Amino acid sequence: MAIRAWRVRDRYYRLVGSRCTKCGAEYFPHAYVCRKCGSGALEDKEVPRRGSILTYTRLYEPLPGFEAQAPLYLAVVELDNGARVLTQVVDSPEESIRTGARVRATIRRAKVDGESGQILYGYKFIVDA
């Protein structure tokens, strides 16, 4: 099952989203139809790796498999191109995680697949110092 993740690895490791060739709207994650104009003419486009926290929450009881990361911070980040992404905020002092804080993308281990033992990585965000 985990092996399939490698087929779309650029979308997770390089933060590749979509750009509508008709109206210029940008999306992350990847979209197949433009939500602004309805066009299906989208191309891959690497999105900015920086943005700002719009809102966040702190989870003391995270989902199974993430217990060791408690408390876990989830945030809606607006990237510098206007695209929004729900992401985990990691490696940041608790007091620095706040609305409006500038953040940057990083790659971290997401989980280990139980069947194959394959380590899956994904993007997360860190508050800029």
Q: What is the pLDDT of residues 1-11, one digit of tens each?
A: 445 555 655 55
Residue 81 burial (10 A CB sphere; 0-12, 13-18, 19+):
middle
Residue 95 region by backbone torsions, left for phi larger than 0, else alpha for psi between -120 and 50, else beta: alpha
* Predicted confidence (pLDDT) at residue 63 exceeds the cutoff of 60: yes
* One-letter amino acid for residue 119 of the chain: I
Cα angle: 84, vertex 32, 110; to 5 degrees? 50
| Domain coverage including residue 54 | 2-127
pLDDT for residue 120: 74
Please tell me the predicted confidence (pLDDT) of residue 7: 61
Q: Using the predicted structure, report yes or no on whether residue 55 has a pLDDT greater than 50.
A: yes
- Confidence category of residue 12, pLDDT binned at 50, 70, 90: low
pLDDT score for 13: 67
Report the mean per-residue pLDDT for the chain: 86
* CATH number of domain containing 28: 2.40.50.840
Neighbours of 124 (CB within 10 A): 19
Model confidence pLDDT, tens digit, residues 76-127: 999 999 889 999 999 999 999 999 999 999 988 777 777 777 777 788 999 9
Number of domains present in the structure of the chain: 1
